[in-house]
Amino acid sequence: MSCMKFAIVIPDGGADETKESLGSRTPLQAARLPNMDLIAQNGVVGRTNNVPDSLTPASDVATLSLFGYDPLKVYTGRAPLETAAMGFHLGPYDYAVRCNLVFVPDGYMRDFTAGHISSEEGVSLIAALQHELGGQELAVGTIEFHAGVQYRNILVWRGGDALSPFEGLVCQPPHDIPDRPVAKHLPQGPGGELLTRLMQASQLILVDHPVNKKRIAEGKKPATQVWLWGQGKAAHIRSFSETYCQRGAITSAVDLVRGVGTLLGWHCIDVPGATGYFDNDYAAQGRYAIEALDAFDLVCVHVEAPDEASHEGRTDEKVKALERIDEHIVGPLLDALPRYGDWRILVSPDHCTTLRTRAHAYGAVPFAVAGTGVTSQGQAAYDEPTAADSDLHFDPGWHLMKWFLRK
């Protein structure tokens, strides 16, 4: 078993409901997925519930579960996972807070990506916030702004002692309130007023920033403010190699997922052209993943595009993203894996993101596994109805990884 090669493919948010425009089928049913269907036909399709009811359905919780860790024990918040990918340290009394650049022109969350603002533009805007607000003594601590990728950035609250302003704070992810009034979803509880004041202060700083003026002149959406959420302390997780005796690598364009991989001790594969959006270079991710099989026991490919398509209500783009994952990632991996001898592949979304709500949702998602030692169950396709009819069900979902590796 130690010589076996493992591959995991995550079409983020790929699970969904049926759509009338798709002939009352889900995107997985409507998409042409010959390689995923081949995995189903030669292996097994089941369900996995990666998000406990007490936690928010999102990739931070769901990927931890999918990678074989109980989120109820190891999850501390979304932002600390991203700081791990960005490479800066959190002390024992520090908090990281996700800092989205968003477009809220009229009191409504019109775009949680600020028109998919570029990383270069984001760096300039975050630098302005750091200049005006960074270093301030707030609630027995100081704050720092750190630029990330595109609209995804980080605020760090540096606490000098055990006092914390954020214990019990409840924040709303901006992607879960599309076209809704933001006043109803501001941070609530300890530290809520502090974060709200910072969000309001960001409006005054960003309104006349040259980056935003240029974007408006070009007919693009400006970043009208930041949205603060996903707070948490540093996470401490036992490495994947210690837990499951496998050396891992991951390719993802999303700092959150890269951060989870970093905390697990996986090597993060930098893939030129991997964007996390519809223009993602799927073929490049597939090539780099296959190359990594030479050096690692397990290689994971995470693709954000299906999730982004759901958040934008783009049925066509979600189907296209799933088809491109199948063609350029799953297919090449199926061709390459047998060259290593024993092998196994897992395809599974982390969570469900519905086109109807444009938001993440609770519930089990379908997975498919094929390879050495996996007996075909005679299932014809990889999709939600096939999974719903399966007797194979992991709830909690973090048990799936042990089964996948050691079945």
* 218 shares its domain with 293: no
Total tally of structural domains belonging to the chain: 2
* 212 shares its domain with 124: yes
Q: Which of 201, 232, 263 is the last residue of a domain?
A: 232
The whole-model pTM stands at 0.84
- Domain harbouring 290, CATH code: 3.40.720.10
* 267 shares its domain with 398: yes
Digit-by-digit pLDDT tens for the chain (407 residues) are 448 999 999 999 999 999 999 999 999 999 999 999 999 999 999 999 999 999 989 999 999 999 999 999 999 888 998 888 888 888 888 999 999 999 999 999 999 999 999 999 999 999 999 999 998 776 668 899 999 989 999 999 998 666 677 888 999 999 999 999 999 999 999 999 999 999 999 999 999 999 999 999 999 999 999 999 999 998 889 999 999 999 999 999 998 899 999 999 999 999 999 999 999 999 999 999 999 999 999 999 999 999 999 999 999 999 999 999 999 999 999 999 999 999 999 999 999 999 999 999 999 999 999 999 999 999 999 999 999 999 999 999 999 999 999 86
User: What separation in angstroms does the CA of 20 have from each of 17, 199, 310?
Assistant: 10, 39, 15
* 330 shares its domain with 247: yes
Cα angle 77, 155, 227 (rounded to 5 degrees) comes to 80
Q: Give the separation between CA 50 and CA 64, rounded to whole angstroms.
A: 8
* 59 shares its domain with 90: no
Q: Where are the alpha helices (DSSP H) in 221-314?
A: 240-244, 255-263, 282-292, 305-311
Q: Which of 208, 232, 256 is the last residue of a domain?
A: 232
Other beta carbons within 10 angstroms of residue 113's beta carbon come to 21
* 344 shares its domain with 396: yes
* 385 shares its domain with 242: yes
* 203 shares its domain with 351: no
Q: What is the DSSP letter of 25?
A: B
* 384 shares its domain with 249: yes
* 227 shares its domain with 287: no
* Strand pairing class (248-251; 267-268): parallel
Residue range of the domain that includes 171: 84-232
Q: Which of 197, 232, 267 is the last residue of a domain?
A: 232
Task: Answer for the pair 297, 4: CB distance below 8 angstroms, yes or no.
Answer: yes
Task: Answer for the pair 62, 51: CB distance below 8 angstroms, yes or no.
Answer: yes
